């Protein structure tokens, strides 16, 4: 590898030592690109410049007249060509056209003869003679021009044919349009008659059946006559029917109230066990009501005693300002106070518990008020009174909750955690519920004063809040029984024994005495609420006792009778009532909506029977006679007519005739002149011919560049006394050739992209593919010269000529001879041009990969050729070179 690189470095060092060598290398790099650029520029867009191809045009047409209509097709053609810029149409006389084509002034000439229009329109008069156009072309001037002029001449004949066809067809369709106007006016009548006849034929079975019915009616007419007479007598019964209908309407009018009562019967049956249980409880309550009075009296006495005890404790409470002055005497006094206040402390839990239960009564009153407001047909006066009562209870209860919170806070001062935050939260929830209920009750009271009716939203909210309050009170009771009472008792015991430690913590005494005072004051407030509530209940006890006794009297017997009725009768009522209601409603609807019409119809039928029955007798006799004698003949005629119309329809479609005669004349004429539209889809579009030819000229220039390299540069290496191996000599000089070849490729393709602005979809791949192709080509030509010497140069040139013809670079390979088609798959040009076209038009990966692999294969074959044949042939090649030099002409 070192020897190869040494040769490569020496080559470029030697080049840069000699300015002329640098110039020659630069020329070798640029010359192939110049060849490429000039050829691409020359063929950039030849088919858009065909207006420079002059064609002489002459019209000798004299025109003609057919059926009072004049034609001069030659003049029409000349006029259309004046606006056609696709070719260089030149309008001259016949002699100038002939001489100009002969001299080469015009590439071709077109002469329209004098009888052209006459021959063209001969078909309209029964003469079919094809007209001719004289087309003369000078094929000596240029090989491609005749092909272009041929296309121009063909376009003229095509245009004349299309215009003539369109004109003739337009004339024919115009005549048919006139016929169509009459046919269209008669077509609806034809369709109507046809449709009516077919419909009548389809109805023949029904007509026959109807005829049989007529005969049957004739047979049964005596019975029908008697029945009609009885129907006329029905008119006399209508007043009784109207009376029954009025009664039925009254039942239907009151049916919603009946159904409403029935809807609640099911609930009554479900609640029957509770009703019986409630009846038993009422009896028991009546029997033991005296005990209730005793309990109330005992509770009232207990609260009075507790009030007295707590009041005494408050009076005996030492003053905090004695702490500083009294010292130890104060401790003794505090101990005596606590011993005397034990009874007051013991009253605290009981008073709180009693107040909580009284608050639950208040919540129950709120629930009852909410249910009363949600009912139907409420007594507003009773509601107002209950609102006032409940409002007062709520205010009192809210105050009690405030005192209870203060009392429990005071207990927490003595012993933090006596009442937990959760329990305090429950108390606050109850207090918030009482406050919100108070606000709602006051709002409802205002509604009744201002509007006379409670606001439904406030009623709904009161129902929700009363439920929330009940839940909170229930939770409070459960927590109070389980945790709060033991904690309060424990704290009060601690207070009683607090004096023992007071001597060592006098500084804490003022705060605790203040809390103790608060405790006793809030206990006093709780006791007062209990006394007030109990007093109110005691005032109501006589009335409650009277009501309970009245309810208990005979309640057992009445409940048993009521239960038996509900169990036996209710299922029957519930199952039958909906059906009965539906039937009654249907009957009532009939009475309201249909009965008047029925009555009117009965009157009409009675009148009809009295006046029309004699005529009906005669009509039935006539109809029966027609069915027997005339109907068979009529049926046979209808079937024959329908069969004839079907036969005509099978042979001729009237709709198709109407459609053919009518329609748009212009569009039909245009269709006949141009029946087919070519829809062109361009796959991998390339906008101009020069860009399309770029792959061919780039590949050709790269081969030419390689040929120039082997013509101007030596393949042999001056070793300067250094011994190299043959493969080092080969690859060392090959690297130099490849470097120049890559530069040739880069200059060529970059010039195409940036100087000529060739259309290339994948520019990067365009450059890389060109570099690959240059490497393969340079390897091939270098190998040919390196192995075969001057003979190799000739082989490279012959190889280029064969590839030029067999690669399909200009014309499709299928248009060439069989020999060149055989060579095509074995030529590097074939795959090099295909690969460059992929980059220009858009890469299809499988095609690009295939082309790259083939090119690499050609390069590998060249390398193998060099490595295997260079040594065996070297002696013969050198000998041949020496003999050539002896000619003093060949180097």
Residue extents of the structural domains in the chain: 2-43+700-878, 53-168, 292-553
Give the per-residue pLDDT at 505: 45
Q: Is 548 helix (H, G, I), strand (E, B) or coil?
A: helix
- The closest of 807, 795, 783, 779 to 699, measured between CA atoms, is 807
How many C-alpha atoms does 179 have within 13 Å on its Cβ side?
A: 10
Dihedral angle sign, alpha carbons of residues 737, 740, 742, 745: negative
59, β-bridge pairs:
112
Residue with tokens 């709120």: 366
Which residues, other chains included, contact 774 with Cβ-Cβ below 8 Å and sequence gap of 6+? Answer: 702, 705, 706, 738, 741, 742, 744, 745
| Residues 808-837: b if buried by 16+ CB within 10 A, e if exposed | bbeeebeebeeebeebbeebbbbbbbbbbb
> Is 387 exposed, middle or buried (CB count within 10 Å of its CB: 0-12, 13-18, 19+)?
buried
Give the per-residue pLDDT at 523: 61
How, if at all, do strands 64-66 and 108-112 pair?
A: unpaired
Give the per-residue pLDDT at 94: 87
Instruction: Decide: 79 and 114 in contact? Cβ < 8 Å.
Output: no
What does the pLDDT look like over 869-883, one tens digit per residue? 877 777 776 666 666
Instruction: Decide: 54 and 108 in contact? Cβ < 8 Å.
Output: no
Distance CA 521, CA 529 (A): 13
292-553 has which CATH code?
1.20.120
Give the per-residue pLDDT at 548: 56
Residue with tokens 């023949």: 204
Give the per-residue pLDDT at 436: 83
Give the per-residue pLDDT at 891: 53
Give the per-residue pLDDT at 502: 46
Farthest CA pair distance, the chain: 161
Instruction: Give the containing element (helix H, strand E) for 88.
Output: strand 88-91
Q: Which two tokens stand for residue 389?
A: 């009562």
Give the per-residue pLDDT at 701: 93
Distance CA 368, CA 273 (A): 22
Which residues, other chains included, contact 200 with Cβ-Cβ below 8 Å and sequence gap of 6+? Answer: 638
Residue with tokens 């709709």: 655
CB atoms within 10 A of CB 306: 24
Give the per-residue pLDDT at 320: 40
What does the pLDDT look like over 715-749, one tens digit per residue? 777 767 677 787 888 888 899 999 999 999 999 99
Instruction: Decide: 726 and 866 in contact? Cβ < 8 Å.
Output: no
203 dihedral zone (left: phi>0; alpha: psi -120 to 50; beta): alpha
Distance CA 316, CA 516 (A): 12
- The closest of 885, 857, 865 to 790, measured between CA atoms, is 885
Distance CA 835, CA 504 (A): 108
Question: For domain 53-168, is the CATH number 3.30.1360.30?
Answer: no
- pTM, two decimals, is 0.44
Distance CA 875, CA 183 (A): 102
Distance CA 522, CA 401 (A): 10
Instruction: Decide: 702 and 748 in contact? Cβ < 8 Å.
Output: yes
- The closest of 39, 38, 32 to 781, measured between CA atoms, is 32
- The closest of 268, 195, 249, 119 to 569, measured between CA atoms, is 268
Regions in the chain scoring below 50 on pLDDT: 175, 319-334, 337-338, 340-341, 499-500, 502-509, 673
Residue with tokens 């009690």: 400
Instruction: Please state the φ and ψ torsions of residue 85, each to the nearest 5 degrees.
Output: -105, 10
């Amino acid at each position: 590898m070192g020897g190869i690189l040494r040769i490569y470095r020496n080559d470029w060092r030697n080049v840069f030592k000699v300015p002329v060598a640098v110039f020659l290398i630069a020329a070798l790099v640029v010359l192939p690109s110049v060849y490429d650029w000039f050829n691409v520029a020359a063929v950039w867009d030849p088919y858009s410049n065909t207006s420079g191809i002059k064609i002489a045009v002459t019209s000798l047409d004299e025109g003609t007249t057919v059926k009072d209509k004049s034609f001069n097709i030659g003049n029409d053609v000349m006029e259309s060509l004046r606006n056609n810029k696709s070719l260089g149409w030149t309008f001259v006389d016949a002699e100038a056209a002939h001489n100009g084509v002969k001299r080469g002034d015009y590439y071709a000439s077109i002469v329209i003869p004098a009888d052209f229009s006459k021959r063209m329109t001969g078909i309209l008069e029964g003469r079919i003679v094809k007209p001719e156009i004289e087309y003369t072309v000078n094929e000596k001037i240029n090989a491609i021009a005749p092909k272009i002029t041929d296309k121009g001449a063909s376009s003229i004949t095509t245009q004349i044919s299309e215009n003539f066809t369109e004109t003739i067809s337009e004339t024919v369709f115009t005549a048919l349009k006139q016929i169509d106007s009459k046919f269209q006016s008669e077509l609806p009548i034809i369709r109507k008659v046809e449709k009516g006849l077919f419909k009548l034929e389809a109805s023949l079975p029904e007509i026959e059946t109807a005829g049989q019915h007529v005969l049957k009616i004739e047979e049964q007419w005596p019975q029908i006559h008697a029945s009609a007479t009885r129907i006329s007598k029905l008119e006399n019964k209508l007043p009784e029917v109207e009376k029954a209908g009025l009664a039925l309407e009254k039942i239907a009018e009151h049916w919603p109230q009946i159904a409403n009562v029935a809807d609640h019967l099911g609930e009554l049956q479900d609640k029957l066990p509770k009703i019986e249980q409630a009846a038993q409880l009422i009896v028991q309550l009546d029997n033991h009501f005296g005990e209730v009075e005793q309990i109330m009296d005992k509770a009232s006495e207990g609260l009075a005693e507790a009030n007295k005890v707590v009041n005494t404790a408050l009076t005996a409470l030492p003053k905090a300002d004695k702490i500083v002055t009294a010292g130890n005497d104060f401790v003794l006094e505090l101990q005596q106070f606590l011993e005397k206040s034990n009874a007051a402390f013991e009253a605290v839990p009981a008073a709180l518990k009693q107040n909580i239960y009284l608050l639950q009564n208040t919540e129950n009153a709120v629930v009852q008020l909410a249910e009363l407001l949600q009912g139907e047909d409420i007594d507003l006066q009773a509601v107002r009174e209950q609102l006032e009562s409940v409002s007062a209870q709520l205010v009192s209860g809210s105050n009690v909750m405030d005192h209870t919170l203060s009392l429990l806070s005071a207990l927490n001062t003595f012993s933090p955690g006596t009442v937990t935050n959760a329990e305090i939260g429950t108390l606050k929830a109850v207090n918030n519920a009482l406050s919100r209920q108070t606000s709602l009750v006051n709002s409802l009271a205002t509604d009744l004063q201002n509007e006379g009716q409670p606001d439904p939203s406030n009623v709904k909210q009161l129902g929700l809040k009363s439920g929330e309050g009940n839940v909170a009170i229930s939770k409070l009771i459960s927590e109070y029984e389980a945790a709060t009472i033991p904690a309060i008792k424990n704290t009060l015991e601690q207070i009683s024994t607090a004096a023992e430690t007071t001597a060592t913590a006098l500084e804490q005494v003022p705060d605790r005495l203040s809390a103790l005072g608060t405790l006793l004051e809030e206990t006093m407030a709780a006791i007062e609420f209990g006394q007030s509530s109990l007093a109110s209940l005691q005032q109501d006890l006589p009335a409650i006792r009277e009501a309970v006794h009245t309810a208990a009297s005979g309640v057992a017997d009445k409940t048993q009778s009521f239960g038996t009725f509900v169990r036996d009768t209710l299922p029957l009522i519930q199952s039958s009532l909906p059906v009965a209601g539906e039937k009654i409603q249907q009957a009532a609807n009939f009475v309201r909506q249909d009965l008047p019409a029925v009555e009117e119809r009965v009157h009409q039928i009675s009148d009809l029977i009295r006046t029309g029955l004699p005529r009906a007798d005669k009509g039935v006799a006539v109809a029966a006679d027609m069915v027997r004698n005339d109907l068979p003949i009529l049926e046979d005629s209808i079937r024959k007519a329908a069969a004839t119309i079907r036969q005509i329809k099978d042979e001729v479609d009237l709709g198709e005739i109407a459609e053919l005669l009518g329609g748009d004349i212009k569009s039909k004429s245009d269709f006949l002149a141009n029946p087919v539209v070519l829809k062109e889809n361009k796959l991998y579009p390339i906008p101009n011919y020069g860009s399309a030819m770029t792959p061919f000229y780039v590949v050709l220039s790269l081969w030419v560049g390689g040929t120039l390299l082997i013509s101007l540069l030596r393949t042999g290496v001056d070793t300067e006394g250094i011994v190299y191996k043959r493969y080092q000599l080969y690859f060392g000089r090959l690297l130099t050739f490849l470097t120049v070849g890559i530069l040739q490729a880069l200059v060529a393709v970059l010039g195409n992209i940036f100087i000529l602005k060739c259309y290339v979809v994948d520019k990067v791949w365009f450059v890389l593919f060109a570099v690959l192709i240059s490497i393969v080509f340079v390897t091939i030509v270098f190998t040919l010269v390196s192995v075969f010497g001057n003979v190799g140069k000739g082989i490279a040139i012959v190889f280029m000529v064969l590839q030029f013809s067999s690669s399909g670079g200009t014309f499709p390979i299928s248009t060439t001879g069989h020999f060149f088609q055989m060579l095509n798959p074995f030529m590097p040009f074939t795959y090099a041009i295909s690969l460059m076209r992929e980059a220009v038009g858009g890469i299809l990966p499988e095609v690009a990969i295939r082309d790259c692999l083939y090119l690499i294969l050609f390069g590998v074959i060249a390398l193998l050729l060099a490595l295997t044949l260079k040594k065996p042939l070297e002696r013969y090649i050198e000998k041949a070179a020496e003999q050539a030099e002896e000619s003093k002409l060949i180097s």
